[in-house]
Amino acid sequence: MIKRLVFLALLGSPFYALAQSGSPTLDGYWRYTVPNGGTNFFLLKQSGETLSGSKLEWKNVLTGTLVGNQFHLSASGKFGNGLEFTFDGVRVSPDTFEITEIGPGVRPGEHFEYKGVLERVSRDVVFPERLPLPPLVSQPDNGLVRTPPMGWNSWNHYHDHFDDATVRQMADAMVSSGMGAAGYTYVIVDEGWSSSRDANGNITGNARFPDMKALADYVHSKGLKIGIYSSPGPHVCGGYQGSYGHEEQDARTFAAWGYDYLKYDWCGASYVYQRTPEDLEGAYQKMGEALAKSGRPIVFSLCEYGWGDVWKWGAKSGGNLWRTTGDISDNWASMDRIGFAQLEITQYPGPGHWNDPDMLEVGNGGMTADEYRTHMSLWALLRAPLIAGNDVRTMTDETKSILMNAEVIAIDQDALALPVERREPQGSAEILVRPLAGEAVVVGLFNRGASPLPMAFRWDSLHLPENLGGRSLEARDLWAHASVPVTGESYKATVPSHGVVLIRVAVKAFSIF
Ligand code: GLA
């Protein structure tokens, strides 16, 4: 009798119904949607109880199991900045699972948990049709960012785990900490703000960003400018809404809301376009034209990781800055590799159009103070955008002293904007020399090696005017904030491992007194 009751109970259960109808295998494409607008796609394959596949955005390898109606997937590859995730689900219909996603937070020791839905979709939902793209035609100069842009961006510290209140608090802290006064003007909302579109096709903020115009007004009321983030694709890297097919409409919306800066990230465009010069250039040209038509001066920040030698055509498409590299991580190896690689393409940037080796990690905790001073010095020598990526509300004095070193910022922002003119490797170290406005040069002594190193440069190697007409040189250590005596033939210093000494040398102004 009991057996018969159990049998009848099973007969009524959804699982039994699925089993009876011969549930289809999970082979094929699946759309994973989390609250607040994130959409991602999985391509799955099932063999018995074993699942394999990939999460398409980052080409992460998925492995897992389907046992009865319970499924588990883990991402064994690297997600974004090296994060790994698991997805546990229950099958609620043949083509639908309810999912719990667990992943680490951006900062060590943190984690997050999302509830989402996984639904089977056809291939053309994943790969929408390629839209026509305009040819690359020079855009008029929008007159913005004559020196490299400076500001703050949410991504490095928060990824998409932030909200309207976080951005407002950051704007407050930009003012109270002195970051704004030091030149960090643009507060940039990276991935995580957008939801889907309203009935008129207008892009909307998600539940964490209920009023993007009010947020812009707030940031402006602090005397700062505000940036926003989108993609030429239907969605951005983490799956939030992108501008595909709505480029002009979104440019008008961003302008109407009062945004001053757009970071336009390729990412989801890979579902639609190819990584060819025609598609890369065309997708950015399309938004460049849309921004120009929007009637508001908006800094156009291209983010396609340096593909297709963007430094050669980014300005033409209307770009004010362009990423030259994949994403930076908060560790020495990443920063060192990205930073020094930039010296190969340092002839391209200039007023209004800048190489962007990605945002600063200073203050995020993954590097030593010496390493962060190297990061800041190198970015300044490169004339890179200085976009802080830390929690400005809780900066230590050391972090403040690095990010707000006015003498180093002045190198980044130097009016002449000339490239590094000389690169002199010395074993595991390098000396970089860059001319500055006003008969001056800056010399960076970078020790990339594992032990402290004595380094030196000759005063007469700096290509300062040879006939000084009776004038002499003056030198200043930009991290010690102290004058350096110009004596003997050379400047000499022992540079700590992964550290830097930054010296500005100038011809002393002639004085009759
Ligand atoms: C890409 C960009 C990052 C950040 C993330 C957001 O990885 O390069 O700077 O915008 O997308 O998902």
The per-residue pLDDT for range 232-259, each reduced to its tens digit, is 999 988 889 999 999 999 999 999 999 9
Query: What whole-number distance in Å separates Cα of residue 498 and Cα of residue 453?
Result: 10
pLDDT in tens, 265-297: 999 999 999 999 999 999 999 999 999 999 999
Q: Token pair 């000389």 is at which residue?
A: 422
Instruction: Extract the tokens encoding 422.
Output: 């000389």
For residue 35, what pLDDT is reported?
74
In total, the chain counts a number of residues equal to 513
Query: pLDDT tier at 57 (50, 70, 90 boundaries)?
Result: confident
What pTM, to 2 d.p., does this model score?
Answer: 0.91
- Please give the distance, rounded to the nearest whole angstrom, from the Cα atom of residue 186 to the centre of ligand 1: 17
With a 6 Å cutoff on the Cβ, whether 106 touches ligand 1 is no
Q: Which residues pair with 321 in a beta bridge?
A: 301, 354
Query: What whole-number distance in Å separates Cα of residue 294 and Cα of residue 188?
Result: 19
- Please give the distance, rounded to the nearest whole angstrom, from the Cα atom of residue 197 to the centre of ligand 1: 22
User: Closest Cα partner for 266 from 297, 227, 310, 299?
Assistant: 310
Is 88 a catalytic site residue? no
Instruction: Extract the tokens encoding 495.
Output: 């540079």
- Please give the distance, rounded to the nearest whole angstrom, from the Cα atom of residue 169 to the centre of ligand 1: 22
With a 6 Å cutoff on the Cβ, whether 190 touches ligand 1 is yes
For residue 7, what pLDDT is reported?
38
Is 250 a catalytic site residue? no
Query: What whole-number distance in Å separates Cα of residue 299 and Cα of residue 288?
Result: 10
Burial of residue 22 (CB within 10 Å: 0-12, 13-18, 19+) is exposed
- Please give the distance, rounded to the nearest whole angstrom, from the Cα atom of residue 327 to the centre of ligand 1: 7
For residue 15, what pLDDT is reported?
44
Query: What whole-number distance in Å separates Cα of residue 57 and Cα of residue 234?
Result: 12
Query: pLDDT tier at 62 (50, 70, 90 boundaries)?
Result: very high
Residue nearest atom 6 of ligand 1, based on CA coordinates: 191
Instruction: Extract the tokens encoding 258.
Output: 């009062």
Do 288 and 247 touch, CB atoms closer than 8 A?
no
One-letter amino acid at 202 equals N
CA 80 to ligand 1: nearest atom: 7
Question: In 66-147, where does DSSP find H-type helix?
Answer: 123-126
With a 6 Å cutoff on the Cβ, whether 238 touches ligand 1 is yes
Query: What whole-number distance in Å separates Cα of residue 343 and Cα of residue 357?
Result: 11
pLDDT in tens, 390-436: 999 999 999 999 999 999 999 999 999 999 999 999 889 999 999 99
The torsion angles phi and psi of 33, rounded to 5 degrees, stand at: -120, 130
Burial of residue 458 (CB within 10 Å: 0-12, 13-18, 19+) is exposed
Q: Which residues pair with 504 in a beta bridge?
A: 442, 476
Establish how many alpha carbons lie within 13 A of residue 87's alpha carbon, considering only the half-sphere containing its beta carbon.
30
For residue 511, what pLDDT is reported?
57
Please give the share of the chain, as a percent, with pLDDT higher than 70: 92
- The pairs formed by 60-63 with CB atoms below 8 angstroms and a separation of 24 or more are 62/87
Query: pLDDT tier at 13 (50, 70, 90 boundaries)?
Result: very low
For residue 92, what pLDDT is reported?
96
Choosing from 40, 106, 188, 190 the residue with most ligand 1 atoms within 8 A of its CB, the one to mutate for a pocket test is: 190
Do 393 and 169 touch, CB atoms closer than 8 A?
yes
Kindly report the number of other CB atoms within 10 A of residue 414's CB atom. Answer: 21
For residue 513, what pLDDT is reported?
52
With a 6 Å cutoff on the Cβ, whether 155 touches ligand 1 is yes
For residue 42, what pLDDT is reported?
94
CA 305 to ligand 1: nearest atom: 8
Residue nearest atom 11 of ligand 1, based on CA coordinates: 237
pLDDT in tens, 367-402: 999 999 999 999 999 999 999 999 999 999 999 999
User: Closest Cα partner for 238 from 384, 89, 386, 112?
Assistant: 112
With a 6 Å cutoff on the Cβ, whether 57 touches ligand 1 is no
pLDDT in tens, 436-487: 999 999 999 999 999 999 999 999 898 777 555 556 899 999 999 999 999 9
CA distances from 344 to 233, 319, 330, 348 (A): 30, 20, 22, 10
For residue 21, what pLDDT is reported?
46
Instruction: Determine which of 214-223, 376-385, 426-435, 502-511 has the lowest per-residue pLDDT on average.
Output: 502-511
Q: Which residues pair with 460 in a beta bridge?
A: none
With a 6 Å cutoff on the Cβ, whether 272 touches ligand 1 is no
Instruction: Extract the tokens encoding 448.
Output: 């990339």
The DSSP H or E segment spanning 290 is helix 277-294
Query: What whole-number distance in Å separates Cα of residue 391 and Cα of residue 175?
Result: 13
Do 287 and 264 touch, CB atoms closer than 8 A?
yes
For residue 470, what pLDDT is reported?
56
Instruction: Extract the tokens encoding 32.
Output: 């994973």
Residue 232, C-beta contacts closer than 8 angstroms, at least 6 positions apart: 242, 243, 244, 247, 264, 266, 269, 272, 273, 283, 284, 286, 287
- Please give the distance, rounded to the nearest whole angstrom, from the Cα atom of residue 189 to the centre of ligand 1: 11
With a 6 Å cutoff on the Cβ, whether 321 touches ligand 1 is no
Query: What whole-number distance in Å separates Cα of residue 367 and Cα of residue 83?
Result: 18
Query: pLDDT tier at 108 (50, 70, 90 boundaries)?
Result: confident
Query: What whole-number distance in Å separates Cα of residue 173 and Cα of residue 181?
Result: 11
The sign one gets for the Cα dihedral 275, 276, 282, 285 is positive
Q: Going along 76-110, which residue ranges are E strands?
A: 86-93, 96-104
Residue nearest atom 8 of ligand 1, based on CA coordinates: 327
Kindly report the number of other CB atoms within 10 A of residue 74's CB atom. Answer: 16
Does position 161 have pLDDT exceeding 50, yes or no? yes
**When comparing pLDDT for 257 and 9, which is higher?**
257
Q: Is 109 helix (H, G, I), strand (E, B) or coil?
A: coil
| Catalytic residue from among 265, 279, 330, 412 | 265
CA 81 to ligand 1: nearest atom: 7
Residue nearest atom 3 of ligand 1, based on CA coordinates: 327
Q: Is 445 helix (H, G, I), strand (E, B) or coil?
A: strand
Establish how many alpha carbons lie within 13 A of residue 403's alpha carbon, considering only the half-sphere containing its beta carbon.
31
Residue 354, C-beta contacts closer than 8 angstroms, at least 6 positions apart: 145, 148, 149, 320, 321, 322, 383, 384, 385
With a 6 Å cutoff on the Cβ, whether 387 touches ligand 1 is no
Establish how many alpha carbons lie within 13 A of residue 189's alpha carbon, considering only the half-sphere containing its beta carbon.
30
Residue-by-residue DSSP string for 344-393: GGTTS-BTTBEEE-----TTSSSS-HHHHHHHHHHHHHTT--EEE-S-GG
Residue nearest atom 1 of ligand 1, based on CA coordinates: 237
Query: What whole-number distance in Å separates Cα of residue 440 and Cα of residue 238?
Result: 45
pLDDT in tens, 301-342: 999 999 999 999 999 999 999 999 999 999 999 999 999 999
Residue nearest atom 9 of ligand 1, based on CA coordinates: 327
CA 327 to ligand 1: nearest atom: 8
With a 6 Å cutoff on the Cβ, whether 167 touches ligand 1 is no
Q: Which residues pair with 482 in a beta bridge?
A: 477
Q: Is 221 helix (H, G, I), strand (E, B) or coil?
A: helix
- Please give the distance, rounded to the nearest whole angstrom, from the Cα atom of residue 81 to the centre of ligand 1: 9
Please give the share of the chain, as a percent, with pLDDT higher than 90: 81
Mean model confidence pLDDT for the chain: 91
